[in-house]
Amino acid sequence: MKIAIVNDMPLAVESLRRALAFEPAHQIIWVAGDGAEAVQLCAQALPDVLLMDLHMPVMGGVEATRRIMAATPCAIVIVTVDREQNVHRVFEAMGHGALDVVDTPAMGVGDPHDAAAPLLRKIQNIGWLIGQHGARELQTAPVARRDTARWPLIAIGASAGGPAALEVLLKGLPANFPAAIVLVQHVDEVFAAGMAQWLADVSGRAVRLAREGEPPVPGTVLLAGTNHHLRLNRDGTLGYTEDPVNEIYRPSIDVFFDSVTRHWQGDAAGVLLTGMGRDGAQGLKLMRDQGWPTIAQDQQSCAVYGMPKAAAELRAALQVLPLERIAIRLGELYP
């Protein structure tokens, strides 16, 4: 993997170099001291993965992410030393298309292999996404529905660009929207609580992490909150599971959508938003096969047209809509 580093702190750059050295297949092709330099270097030598700091002179990581994703898109991972102080900037960068976020490796404290492991795992996952390996076929028989649920369920999946897209969607829904909403966004569990709070702040809705054993209900938006997969159980409650262990992203959108088709006894709709890779496309197809309305975000409004494109190729989406139209359509479906 060709790796680029954008960071103005020599100690942080050295920590990243040491962490990357544990995987000989990774090659650092350049290091930039600020975002403006990174924009120029990306135009000259595009990396497979770019490790982006947030606070830098001349141009910070949020604006650099926006410009790079507009001109020379690549997989960007935000690397930060203080996630609690940077929550809003992290999700702003992810809204512009950054794929993931990870703490700066604390090399020199404890076992260096353990310190490097989270970063190396993120890069490995991105390598699989770029190569489109490991796609699995989801199959389920049509479910005989009893329609015992008292309200509809909206299942939403998002990845790179997702935070900004989710903000727009949630803001656009009617104030007394009658359906339950469950979100699966690709984000590490250490940032999930911060994302739920951020979404609550920017959308004006009640958003929190989904809890083991609770049912989805209208009035509260539930977000998958761990590195295990979120599932809908047979009794209509939510739960977390380690299986399947071979999924690239945890939590997996496909796993959740699949569980909805198996166990939700009522009306439902599936929505797949911006993101890299194919997660969610096959699950959305299963939801369409059940006769439920399914929506994918269109290319023009996506920060990264990967997952919705895969859904369109599978004919998984009954409708492909601009982001600002998705909330309107959901309001029409469930007035």
Report the catalytic residues: 159, 186, 279
Q: What is the 3-state secondary structure (H, E, C) of the chain?
A: CEEEEECCCHHHHHHHHHHHCCCCCCEEEEEECCHHHHHHHHHHCCCCEEEECCCCCCCCHHHHHHHHHHHCCCEEEEEECCCCCCHHHHHHHHHCCCCEEEECCCCCCCCHHHHHHHHHHHHHHHHHHHHCCCCCCCCCCCCCCCCCCCCCEEEEEECCCHHHHHHHHHHHCCCCCCCEEEEEECCCHHHHHHHHHHHHHHHCCCEEECCCCCCCCCCCEEECCCCCEEEECCCCCEEEECCCCCCCCCCCHHHHHHHHHHHCCCCEEEEECCECCCCCHHHHHHHHHCCCCEEEECHHHCCCECHHHHHHHCCCCCEEECHHHHHHHHHHHCC
